[in-house]
Structure 1
């Protein structure tokens, strides 16, 4: 398919990773609840693999945590969802332009793409032209013998580089915040530990 790679915006509701995966895999932005269940069931079924050292918390506690719609997903969840769908998931980071490829070691023959801005995941799709309706989106790409998905890969990277050039990301290590209640100023994600009033 010829065309352009476009960013399909996913709502910012703490479930963007799951809904972005739902969109690229099934053209459905409302998969968060179902995919959180998939992840919890996968983790619960293999406490040896998904141990406390791997998860950062006890298996049972992680399962309860990931089912909470307020909690965010990341690398662990993308790896599990890659295996669940039997496809690679390429997650492009705008700040670094790095691409983390989940499921690569399984040599799946298809790949889907996401874009991450430091706080939020959106879906990437190949569209016949800028502004084309979403029903024409291609979100699953065949992986060839050289482990490439062809022109879509370069187009995705160009989109990510352009977003980086425009500084369309959040530097979570260095952004500055001030608590509106206690007026403490902090850098990065340290506000949660400093001010218990908000969290």
Structure 2
């Protein structure tokens, strides 16, 4: 199977056997690709999963599929990302973007207000703006709600419950293999306000709401599309995933933080809007709008234990029932 390996600004296509161990990958990569750095982990999938570069698990058992893109985390990138520990990505974007005042013409980024990440879409006559979603463990659901309704809270539309009911009503589609746990356990888990949503939820909600969800992964620099392929929706929204948090894109004639007249869903100008989103995501990549979910450190706010990475936090939550985490500086 073909795999695309990305390391920093370099990339290569590798023909691999599904039975290879993950640790075998490094020996097949050229020194030019790695630029003298050693690989510590690989990130892949959506939302991103991570596996240690020294792991003895096979590629197929790790869930790495043909034509997958793997982002290699090297000893240097791992250290720089670990130092960021940016759990509250939504609030940190302001300071991150203001570090570079006045973009180059190559970026085409407007800085009439350098606190707002934006691109001006000439053909549409509006600004494309990154709207930060509250970091409350429901950012995926709130990003969808804001894009569709202009509000982060909509009591009449319980998205978590919609997901749970859809899964329960379609056990052949959403079985234990897909969910990673028994159906009843998954449904119980996703209805908790502390649980994070991902690709499963995006697919279900796209179908239920009749909207195409275009979602950018900043780390991978790629976009995933969630929609009903048999009944392609006319309406679309655009989300952005930083590695641990979801925000959304809107358009507005005014470049303002007040959110008045924000529009987060559209039926026209998809090519221009998505293209501008891609430009803005490229800027976010340059300005480290990502969180390394393998190495960031969090503290449990219930027992104060310090944990390493998303896996550490997930295991702690499963074993203790503690779901409230905070940033470790």
TM-score by length of 2: 0.53
1:74 to 183, 192, 198: 198
Instruction: Specify the alignment match of 1:167 in structure 2.
Output: 288
Contact 1:90 1:102 in 2 (8 A): yes
In 1: Cα distance, 2:182 partner to 2:125 partner = 47
In 2: Cα distance, 1:169 partner to 1:88 partner = 24
Instruction: Specify the alignment match of 1:38 in structure 2.
Output: 162
Higher helix share: 1
RMSD of the alignment, in Å? 2.7
In 1: Cα distance, 2:250 partner to 2:184 partner = 35
- Report matched runs for 1:52-67 at 5 Å: 52-67=176-191
- 1:176: how far off? 4.4
2:209 to 85, 98, 104: 85
1:24-58 deviation line (CA, Å, top 9, x unaligned): 11212014871101111111111121111111111
Matched, 1:142 2:262: no
In 2: Cα distance, 1:184 partner to 1:142 partner = 45
Instruction: Specify the alignment match of 2:239 in structure 1.
Output: 114
Q: Flag structure 2 segments of 5+ consecutive residues without an equivalent.
A: 1-123, 323-329
1:100 to 217, 224, 239: 224
- 1:129: how far off? 3.1
Higher relative contact order (CA 8 A, sep 6+): 1
For the pair shown, which has the larger CA radius of gyration, 1 or 2?
A: 2
Sort the Cα spacing of 1:184 and 1:8 in 2 relative to 1 into closer, same or farther, 3 A: closer
Sort the Cα spacing of 1:197 and 1:45 in 2 relative to 1 into closer, same or farther, 3 A: closer
TM-score by length of 1: 0.85
- 1:150: how far off? 2.5
- 1:82: how far off? 0.3
Sort the Cα spacing of 1:52 and 1:141 in 2 relative to 1 into closer, same or farther, 3 A: same
In 1: Cα distance, 2:316 partner to 2:257 partner = 46
Instruction: Specify the alignment match of 2:278 in structure 1.
Output: 157
Query: Is the partner of 2:270 in helix, strand or coil?
Result: coil
Matched, 1:6 2:129: yes
Query: Is the partner of 1:61 in helix, strand or coil?
Result: helix
Contact 2:206 2:228 in 1 (8 A): no
Contact 1:12 1:120 in 2 (8 A): yes
In 2: Cα distance, 1:134 partner to 1:87 partner = 22
